[in-house]
Amino acid sequence: MCRLITLVVLMVALAAGADAAGLHGTVCTHNASAREAEICLQHALSDAQAELKRKYEAVAALFGTKDRKEELARSQKTWGLYVAQTCDGLIKPETVESRLARADVLSCRTELTIERTNDLDRMFYVALHD
């Protein structure tokens, strides 16, 4: 039973990593070291952040009024606080696991950034894709 659960968790993780693979070309699983994994994940996060910035700017350009743009900016700031609360607590400084934790934080931030980009696209799909 435990092996089945492990297999299911691994399959879900690989499927989730496929989104990051579209951004960086890898899911950062075939690395020679933890440092190499961190570098790969940092590139994936940078790619995801650049895509989010492009999507955010496209959505902001749709809004004609200052009030609506300010609401979008508040929404983005709130989302940033959510990411910090959700991901940054994974680091445990000065522990044996700290290297893995940095990779976990990068992975968490990448996944949430990809989700935010997709959310903006879904919310404003008609206006963005007409």
> What is the tens place of the pLDDT at every residue in 13-25?
334 444 444 444 4
pLDDT greater than 90 at residue 80? yes
**Residue 32, class by beta-carbon neighbours within 10 Å (0-12 exposed, 13-18 middle, 19+ buried)?**
exposed
pTM of the model: 0.71
Domain boundaries, the chain: 2-128
What does the chain come to in residues? Answer: 130
> What is the tens place of the pLDDT at every residue in 28-52?
777 778 788 889 999 999 999 999 9
- Residues 6 or more apart whose CB falls under 8 angstroms from that of 49 comprise 113
Mean pLDDT of the region 47-58: 96
* pLDDT in the model for residue 16: 42
Class of CATH domain 2-128: mainly alpha
Residue 34's region, left for phi above 0, alpha for psi from -120 to 50, else beta, is alpha
Torsion angle of the four alpha carbons 44, 46, 51, 53, in this order, in degrees rounded to the nearest 10: 160
